[in-house]
Amino acid sequence: MDSGRARRAEPLYRLVLRADPDNLDGWRGLGHASVRLRRGRQAIRAYEQYLRRAPGATDAAEIRERLRRLRESEARGGRAGGAEGAESGAAQE
């Protein structure tokens, strides 16, 4: 997902989540879009919500790794944290 698509997608994910807070695609998508937009804390919250609702998801290990990189980057004062590492998978979405 490029940053232009992420900018357009982010408010749509929020609308979906407002209507259905348990929507897994919405949480995961918001996390991916947030990484592309370099919004690390927002990405962390979205990925945490995704994992809270789907701890056994097929991509749970991948999302946990993204979270780890984002948290490390945030701890260093990064802006979307670990964007290089966390984006690698998100860019394919």
Q: Are 8 and 49 in contact (CB under 8 A)?
A: no
The answer, yes or no, to whether residue 15 has pLDDT greater than 60, is yes
Please state whether 88 falls in left (phi above 0), alpha (psi between -120 and 50) or beta. alpha
The answer, yes or no, to whether residue 60 has pLDDT greater than 90, is yes
Predicted model pTM = 0.83
Q: What is the CATH number of the domain that holds 28?
A: 1.25.40
Predicted pLDDT at 3: 84
Please state whether 23 falls in left (phi above 0), alpha (psi between -120 and 50) or beta. beta
Whole-number average pLDDT of the chain? 88
Q: In terms of residue numbers, what domain contains 46?
A: 3-90
Number of structural domains, the chain?
1
29: confidence class by pLDDT, cuts 50, 70, 90: very high
